[in-house]
Amino acid sequence: MSAGTWLSTARAAPASVRQWWVLTSRLIVPSLKTGEILSSVVAPAAFTASFYLPLKNVMTFSGNGFSSYAQYMMPLVILQAASFTAIAAAFRSATDAVAGLDRRFGAMPIAVLIPVAARMSGNVFRLGIALAAAIMCGHIIGFRFRLDAVHTLGFLAFSIVVGIGLTLGADVIGMLAKSPETVTQMLILPPLIFGLLSTGLAPASQFPHWVQPFVRNQPVSQFAIALRALAGDTKGNAGEVTWSLMGPPLLWALGPLVLFVLLAFRLGSRRA
């Protein structure tokens, strides 16, 4: 590498960092000033109250093999918090696309993935707040981490990976949308349908026989299985963290994440 090339690369790296930071601040600072960030706290609390209070006695009576319904339901609270963050991410991405910001960034000396990275940084910031609020809500209704610190960190890490995958996928969908309102309405139904037709609220055995294979193997159920195993339970029915148990959830989490990164790069390259 020649001296001129090395100097150009050295100057480009700090410039990219500054661009990322400026674009990230554009998304985070206004949400703090306007109170928009409160929605990341209110949404998990509303979901927890809406489903835990009416279903607690019913599920305790019918049985789910866990020490409490809060321990059983907690993974779905986490996943719904991530899905709420993803819907908001799609709205912001679609807003930038419709306003022409993506095309403007493509005409500027900005690396292809800088705008996406900036939006994702803002999304991860909101995701962290939403997950913290979800865990706090779970603690209030009786959820506890029953295993050691390694499993607890695994629970948090897996939650973040799943959340990043959901928000990045929603961001890519928003980049292709023609209306922020339309894409928001489109993304409300899938988390609701997959959440209700999963083992997040009830065991697969309580569903009709013809739909049980789908309920057991769809991604939300697999994520819930992994999170329950990482959280543990005093009755020992949460499952053990083994490769056979964690393999399918990890594939569901990492496979789409890689695909969405490639799609985001392709869309950014096309507009550049």
Could you please report the per-residue DSSP string of the chain? --HHHHHHHHHHHHHHHHHHHHHHHHHHHHHHHHTGGGHHHHHHHHHHHHHHHHHHHHHHHH--SSS-HHHHHHHHHHHHHHHHHHHHHHHHHHHHHHTTHHHHHHTSS--TTHHHHHHHHHHHHHHHHHHHHHHHHHHHHT----S-HHHHHHHHHHHHHHHHHHHHHHHHHHHH-S-HHHHHHHHHHHHHHHHHTSTTTS-GGGS-GGGHHHHHHSHHHHHHHHHHHHH--TTS-S----HHHHHHHHHHHHHHHHHHHHHHHHHHHHH-
- What is the mean predicted confidence (pLDDT) over 234-259? 92
Total-model pTM: 0.89
What confidence category does residue 251 fall into, taking pLDDT thresholds of 50, 70 and 90? very high
- What is the mean predicted confidence (pLDDT) over 42-58? 87
- Range of 41's domain? 3-271
Q: How many domains does the chain have?
A: 1
Does the pLDDT at position 9 exceed 50?
no
What confidence category does residue 111 fall into, taking pLDDT thresholds of 50, 70 and 90? confident
